[in-house]
Structure formats: C-alpha cells, structure tokens
Amino acid sequence: MRLVLPPDSNLTTEHPNLTNPLRSSPAAAEAAARGPPPAPTNEPFSYEGFYNAELEKKHKDKSYRYFNNINRLAKEFPRAHTASAEERVTVWCSNDYLGMGRNPHVLNSMHKTLDTYGAGAGGTRNISGHNQHAVALEDTLAKLHGKEAALVFSSCFVANDATLATLGSKMPDCVILSDSLNHASMIQGIRHSGAKKMVFKHNDMEDLETKLASLPLSTPKIIAFESVYSMCGSIAPIEKICDLSDKYGAITFLDEVHAVGMYGPHGAGVAEHLDYATWQSQDTASPQSTKGTVQDRIDIITGTLGKAYGCVGGYIAGSAAMVDTIRSLAPGFIFTTSLPPATMAGADTAIQYQSQQPRDRVLQQLHTRAVKTALKDLDIPVIPNPSHIVPLLVGDAELAKKASDKLLEEHGIYVQAINYPTVPRGEERLRITPTPGHVKPLRDHLVQAVQAVWNDLGLKRTSDWQSQGGFVGVGVEGAEAANLPIWEDAQLGLQPGESLEGAVAREFNDAASQVTLPPLKAATPLTEKAHSGMNIPVGVVA
Ligand SMILES: Cc1ncc(COP(=O)(O)O)c(C=O)c1O
C-alpha cells in the first residue's frame, strides 16, 4: 500500500526514515539510475558457525546451562511435578522464599484484579499503562522502606540497570564503587552508564575507604552493593558503608533483592533489621523516631517483587526528587509496558501481608538453622554465613551438576547446581533455600539424600577442605563464629533452652490458631482517597 501525503506534508524533514513519495531528491534519482550494487563475492559471515562455536566453549568448560522442567504446585508447596504431571519432587532452591506465590490472600487479590481489569496493563506508564495498581504499589513500597517515593519496574534487573545507567551517565564525572560480588544487573547498569567504575573487594571496608579517599570530595560517587549476597549468603556491613559514604560525600545504592520480605519487623530488608526495635515500635502507641536508622541513611534501596513476594517486578525507593529523576530520564522505565494490574495488586497484597506478621520469616529462619545444623553435623561443607542461604561447596562444575542430577533422579529433590559465571570457577556449589513449608520430614529427607550423594560421588567434606587450609569460609577457623545468624534468638522468639523443633512446632501451632489475618488494604482501591483512607500500618514513614 502506498502512503499518500498532502503536498504540504513535512514528513520528510521530521522523519528521515520515511521517504516522501511525492518528492525525490537528485541523489535518489541518480542512485536509481545506477541500479543496485553487484552482489559481493567473498564468504558471508557464518552466523550458525558463530552460535555453535560459542556453545561449544560453554560445553567444554562445563558451564553450559541445562534447565530442569519443574512445575511448582500452588496447592502442594514446596512440591512440584516434573515434565510428567504424575512425578513429584520437592523444590529446595526456589527464591519464592516464603511461599507467597501461592498465598491465598495474594491469589485472591490477583483473581479479583484479573477479572476486573484484564490481562495486561495496555501500555507504558506514559501511554495508558499508569493506573491505581501502580499508584497503590508504589505507595506501599515507599512506606515499607520509610522513603518519600518508590518506582516500579518490570524486574529488579531492569531497576538496577536503568537506575545506575541513568545516574552514572547523567551525573558529571560520576564514579561508581561496586562490590566485587555484585549481581550482573548492577554490573550491567554500571557498564551502560559509561561512568568510571571502581570495584572494591567483597565487604572489605579498608579497600572501599582507600578507593573513596582517592577521589575528590566534589566528585559524585555511588556505592553500589547488596544486603544479602545470594550465592554465598554473606551480608554487607551496611552501617559502615553508610559511615564511609557520609565521610567521602557519596550516595548509597543498596540492593535488598534477597532480603525484602525476610528481614526486619516488616520485611523491609536487612537495613530495617539492623534497627529492629525502632522499626517494630512504629506499630505501637509510642513509635520511636526512625531518623538516623540504617534504612533511613540509605539513599536508594532496590528490591524485587519476584522472590519473597512471590510475583514479578522490581523497584527503587528513595527521595522524591531521585525517584522523579529516574521516572523522567531512564529508558528502562519509560519505554516498556507496565506490569499487569493483577501482578501489581498481588505484589501489593504480598508486601502488606508480610509487613503485618513475621511468622513466615521466623519459620524460614528456624528451618534454615535446622538444615544447616543437620548438614554440618554430617561434615557436609556448608559455606558459613549469617543469612537464610544454605550453600554447599562442591568446587567442581561437573561434580556439582552430577550431584544435582542425582538428587533429582534418585531422591526426588530439586537443587540446582550453581556454576560459572554465577560463581567463580572452582567455587561451584549447590544452593539450598529452606522455606516455611520445608517441615521436618522434608528436611530429614533432604539431609539423608545429600549425605548419600556426597558418599556416592566422593565429594569433599568440611574436614577435607580444612586439611587443605580451608576454602571460601569452609574449614576456616573462626568462620562460624564470625557468621552468627542475623536473626537473633530473641527476635525468633526462641525461649532459653527451647529446641529448634520445639520452636517450629510452637510457630505452626500459633499459625493454626490464627484463624483470620488483620484486614489488608484493598489491593485495587477505586480512588486514591479511598486508598489513603484505609490506614493499615505498612512499615511506617520516617
Ligand atoms: C542481587 C540481585 N539483584 C537483582 C536481581 C534481579 O531481580 P529480578 O529477578 O527482579 O529481575 C537478582 C536476581 O536474581 C539478584 O540476585
């Protein structure tokens, strides 16, 4: 079909890619007379050859990724069926850390929103994709973190990439200081920013300070780091990083992806957890000031809606001006379709549910402690850490995959092998993530299966690593003592002398006796006024 334009059309000047069929330049007429250039005679690039060569490299170094077909069953959490609908396995490596992906409140909110508002948002936030679900969710997120504002993205990968790329490219001469174990999304954002990057050794404050001190005070600097590092379970010294940030005129960019929902009295993350009593007091008649708390001191917090909150999406939270800047400038926010209304409503419900009751995260921590203790008692090499992650050191890509396959095929247990580039070569591991649903029979089964696989494959035990001088904390003297759980006994409600299983039983009994939850703020409020009128405590603004 030909495009017919009026004679006064200015399309050719405004749209260089659209030719005006009514006008033709002398150069175009000349080119038409010359005809097309002759066909080239040399060999074309072999695209398929390129793909195959790249894949061959991945196979050779054993880092080729195999995906397992695992279908997590909402009604049988944490069980799943494999490619066969009849075959059941227990999932031990999901990041649906609290089982919110099947929480009845979340599902109910999603069903209602889906039926009322349909499948998709219908556009970008700028063009028809901005709605009450986004408004409500961002309001909830800002309150959760005690910040002025929040902004939702299609994932936290995008949130990290877009925010760092935008700030790093727009702030004149910006330098980004990045922890050496930072997630690929931050590395990508820093790369996209074109800003100068300085990588400091993982959680090494001396190294960070040396690098900060080498820069003029007037230079804008962003310290980018995570709270819980997901592959080893280490936790950043957040307060010390804030101190250095203040001293050297930097801002802090904290990724709480593996902590939101799971740490702190409202599930806002490790930064909230570090001032547990202060934030907890917000739900009481005499709230303490949150000014100067660690969470308050962090400039930019990023998180996901896809892990402990069981849905999908990511966000940033911080000052109103920072959020408005990213909203206005970041292509990764501007030029993409908004999350579906049902997803935003479900995530909103999940955040509020977790902010109102800590039982899931307490059970998750108790189960984690029980699994770590049982495995350590068998000399299985658990990488010491203070968080909910249970990483088992294997130290070889092929053996890690074999161990994972054996667990699945012979024991019905799904734990993915973690290989390069997610972890450095030689540090391959199995990464176990207990949830509130991993009750004692499932835990006992896991521990027996891991023991059998370690025996069958002759994998190194803690004592073997120790005799070699220790490796990534395994078999290293003092490593356990330096990695006590960040959830303290008192915060978990552990009574003096109470066993872990006793505490688990108590938590489950309490859960059973709690018939109804406090009412949740409507996930799909009809007006902003109605929304703000439902004054349910969610985190609480500083
Ligand atoms: C530390 C960290 N940040 C960001 C992300 C990206 O989050 P999302 O899954 O929402 O894209 C991940 C994902 O695994 C992560 O581990």
Q: Is the CB of 140 under 6 A from ligand 1?
A: no
**385 token code pair:** 């850490």
Output the CA 327–ligand 1 centroid distance in Å. Answer: 20
Rg (CA), the chain: 26
Q: Is the CB of 255 under 6 A from ligand 1?
A: yes
308 shares its domain with 390: no
CA 330 to chain CA centroid, nearest Å: 20
Output the CA 404–ligand 1 centroid distance in Å. Answer: 23
Q: What is the pLDDT of residue 24?
A: 67
274 shares its domain with 384: no
Atom of ligand 1 nearest to the CA of 226: 1
Q: Is the CB of 539 under 6 A from ligand 1?
A: no
Q: Does residue 474 lie in a domain region?
A: yes
Q: Which domain-ending residue is among 335, 357, 379?
A: 357
Output the CA 431–ligand 1 centroid distance in Å. Answer: 16
| Residues assigned a catalytic role | 307
Output the CA 156–ligand 1 centroid distance in Å. Answer: 5
Mutate to test the pocket of ligand 1, among 304, 309, 423, 431 (most ligand atoms within 8 A of CB): 304
Q: 88 - beta bridge partners?
A: 81
Burial of 148 (0-12, 13-18, 19+ CB in 10 A): middle
Q: Does residue 39 lie in a domain region?
A: no
Q: Give me the residues of the chain with pLDDT under 70, please.
A: 1-24, 511-542
Q: Does residue 49 lie in a domain region?
A: no
Atom of ligand 1 nearest to the CA of 229: 1
CATH number for the domain including 296?
A: 3.40.640.10
Output the CA 464–ligand 1 centroid distance in Å. Answer: 33
CATH number for the domain including 380?
A: 3.90.1150.10
Output the CA 405–ligand 1 centroid distance in Å. Answer: 25
Q: Is the CB of 250 under 6 A from ligand 1?
A: no
Nearest CA to 298 out of 218, 197, 223 is that of 223
Burial of 13 (0-12, 13-18, 19+ CB in 10 A): exposed
Q: Is the CB of 185 under 6 A from ligand 1?
A: yes
Separation CA 345–CA 133 (nearest Å): 6
Structural domain tally of the chain?
2
219 shares its domain with 283: yes
407 shares its domain with 490: yes
Q: What is the pLDDT of residue 518?
A: 53
Q: What is the pLDDT of residue 530?
A: 31
177 shares its domain with 289: yes
Closest residue CA from atom 7 of ligand 1:
156
Q: Is the CB of 156 under 6 A from ligand 1?
A: yes
Q: Does residue 58 lie in a domain region?
A: no
Q: Is the CB of 259 under 6 A from ligand 1?
A: no
Please count the other Cβ atoms lying within 10 Å of the Cβ belonging to residue 259. 31
Q: Is the CB of 306 under 6 A from ligand 1?
A: yes
367 shares its domain with 483: yes
Mutate to test the pocket of ligand 1, among 156, 316, 389, 433 (most ligand atoms within 8 A of CB): 156
Q: Is the CB of 160 under 6 A from ligand 1?
A: yes
143 shares its domain with 242: yes
Q: Is the CB of 233 under 6 A from ligand 1?
A: no
Q: Is the CB of 183 under 6 A from ligand 1?
A: yes
Q: What is the pLDDT of residue 508?
A: 83
Q: Which domain-ending residue is among 357, 377, 412?
A: 357
Output the CA 124–ligand 1 centroid distance in Å. Answer: 22
Cis peptide before 421 (omega within 30 of 0): yes
Atom of ligand 1 nearest to the CA of 305: 10
372 shares its domain with 307: no
Output the CA 42–ligand 1 centroid distance in Å. Answer: 45
Q: Does residue 50 lie in a domain region?
A: no
Please count the other Cβ atoms lying within 10 Å of the Cβ belonging to residue 56. 11
Q: Does residue 9 lie in a domain region?
A: no
Closest residue CA from atom 13 of ligand 1:
157
Q: Does residue 14 lie in a domain region?
A: no
Separation CA 69–CA 74 (nearest Å): 16
Q: What is the pLDDT of residue 513?
A: 58
Strands (E), 207-313: 221-226, 250-255, 300-304
Mutate to test the pocket of ligand 1, among 257, 309, 387, 418 (most ligand atoms within 8 A of CB): 257
In order of 139, 147, 232, 274, 285, the CA distances from 491 in angstroms are 28, 24, 23, 12, 20
**360 token code pair:** 């899931």
Q: Is the CB of 263 under 6 A from ligand 1?
A: no
Expressed as residue numbers, the domain containing 221 is 105-357
Residue at token pair 């649906």:
96
Contact residues for 485 (Cβ-Cβ < 8 A; gap 6+): 365, 368, 369, 386, 387
167 shares its domain with 308: yes
313 shares its domain with 402: no
341 shares its domain with 489: no
Nearest CA to 476 out of 393, 366, 370 is that of 393
Output the CA 97–ligand 1 centroid distance in Å. Answer: 13
Q: Which domain-ending residue is among 357, 386, 410?
A: 357
277 shares its domain with 383: no
Q: Does residue 264 lie in a domain region?
A: yes
